[in-house]
Chain A
């Protein structure tokens, strides 16, 4: 059974992954370019990073973006987890169909429409746009992602574990905090991470719902990108990509370690019986 990889498999993997990664690698590479021209290699330099840290506008935007992402992902995780529990554990309640429709619709709604509709509503109730409105917009679409992640975790969750807790004298509300929540915590955490990156990444909805003083980093990048490719934007991008890649890699290494430990434990347990 020791078949080598066929030439087809090899080329499919190499071509596919080169396509996925070359653009990002080139982008990172040219952020260290001495030359202002993005396509001409003028030697290694970190001067664009230094310049970056002197660009107050960009730093402000980054700070606003982080604040929005943190607040919106936290609230979205709370609301999304509640929604996920409602959809899997509450059986039938009045208006369930409408609710599950409202959970799934934002996932497929074009961003321009979500942005437009929220903006029109904020105008209709004459709410000044700014930090709060962007955050509310981000909460609204992020909570749906969290709800879906939590819901799919709960769907595979052995309901009798909760019943066992109740059988042992634990009332339903307490059961949720003592049993259900610790078990679904990984899903809740990844829901939070997903919301955070979605918020960090969003250009379109933020453009519609933000106001003066709350310009986010993607908006800043977008307005500069429209003027052309600059090494400075390459440097910002590299930092962002680096942060996300490190986060995802660390998370996956941790989960793989614990998975390996779990497998080892299981083998141990069956061996000694």
Chain B
């Protein structure tokens, strides 16, 4: 295909394009069960072809939100629009949306083929077409050898693929996945994540996935919505979520992070100077926050962005914490150091083991310097 390199590298970001119409729109959606508010006034746009993750701890309302999209729950307030048409009052069996259940919910008394054909039969599709479409999708998920088996004759991974095939065969406008990989072991999960991404890209169907596994969300998603107590805290791409979290909650939920407290000392051109007693040094950071002098701020530092060294750097006036090695975790590819600062704060840092033997390895009770570039620290407000 004759596409220039420039264009090929252009990112696919419909959410940044004001011309693009959202595929699914949630407008002020709330769901209350008696006194308990499971979903609290959520507004959200999801675009066609997205692989969208709802990420959060259990009980944050992500599954309830998914069930409202599927039609199993009706919003107490607000609207859900699919391609511009209101879905309220439309029962699940009339929605052009399919769901892959956490338990897979395969029909135990039907073979793999009949499980997959079930949805098509409900639509009164001629049997020749059903057979053909079932065959296609069975091939897509590589279950050809197992078509005649019953669910209990399949392994966990195979069941997962039957559940996927059953939901995909109807060519839904949107596929909802509730913790789709939760029941698989770690190795199989990693492999299946990539399979899911390939299938999604091949079919171009909008996927909305619910997960509590941040690694999974980071791997598969175009965008992630981080949820907490029924609200959406941040919606962004995986890179943005990791590198530019908008709150301490998000920074802490995604990946490892050290958070130190400080006060704005000086607001400069494009940068902030922060005095931090906890870190024992003054911190320079990129200006990303409207905070007046004297305001309390928090600086989030990712462990891998800190450089650990036994020698003092040239400039110790800023971005340099000093402490004592408290604990070491050797993981092979990395070593994790827990460094106790003089303020008592414990800082975690990771160092890649580039060589097989280090001449003078850092060990317990060594006094070490932790440095980082002004780019690396994330300044967060309340």
Could you tell me which A residues sit within 8 Å of B by CB distance? 158, 160-161, 163-172, 178-179, 182-183, 262, 265-266, 268-270, 272-273
Q: Is the CB of A169 within 8 A of B103?
A: no
Majority DSSP secondary structure for residues of A touching B: helix
Binds A, one of B12-20, B150-158, B236-244: B150-158
A183 to B151, CA, bound (A): 13
* A164 with B153, Cβ < 8 A, contacts A169-B122, A169-B123 known: no
User: Which of B71, B122, B153 is close to A269, meaning CB atoms less than 8 Å apart?
Assistant: B153
A172 to B91, CA, bound (A): 10
Could you tell me which B residues sit within 8 Å of A by CB distance? 70-72, 91-95, 97-99, 101-103, 105-109, 118-119, 122-123, 150, 152-155, 157-158, 166-167, 170
Q: Is the CB of A273 within 8 A of B158?
A: yes
Can you spell out 10 A-B residue pairs with CB atoms less than 8 angstroms apart? A158-B103, A161-B107, A161-B108, A164-B106, A167-B70, A167-B71, A167-B93, A170-B122, A183-B109, A269-B155
Give the distance to chain B from A178, nearest Cβ to Cβ, in Å.
8
Give the distance to chain B from A264, nearest Cβ to Cβ, in Å.
9
* A163 with B101, Cβ < 8 A, contacts A179-B107, A268-B153, A273-B158 known: yes
A237 to B125, CA, bound (A): 58
A164 to B92, CA, bound (A): 9
Q: Is the CB of A166 within 8 A of B91?
A: yes
Number of residue pairs across A and B with beta carbons under 8 Å?
81
Q: Is the CB of A262 within 8 A of B93?
A: no
Q: Look across to chain B and name the residue whose beta carbon is closest to the beta carbon of A161.
A: B105
User: Which of A166, A168, A265 is close to B166, meaning CB atoms less than 8 Å apart?
Assistant: A168
Q: Is the CB of B93 within 8 A of A182?
A: no
* A169 with B153, Cβ < 8 A, contacts A158-B103, A164-B101 known: no
Chain A residues whose CB sits within 8 angstroms of the CB of B98 once the complex forms:
167-168
Give the distance to chain B from A76, nearest Cβ to Cβ, in Å.
25
Q: Is the CB of B101 within 8 A of A262?
A: no
Q: Look across to chain B and name the residue whose beta carbon is closest to the beta carbon of A185.
A: B109
Q: Is the CB of A171 within 8 A of B99?
A: no
Q: Is the CB of A164 within 8 A of B99?
A: yes
Q: Look across to chain A and name the residue whose beta carbon is closest to the beta carbon of B118.
A: A168
A179 to B155, CA, bound (A): 22
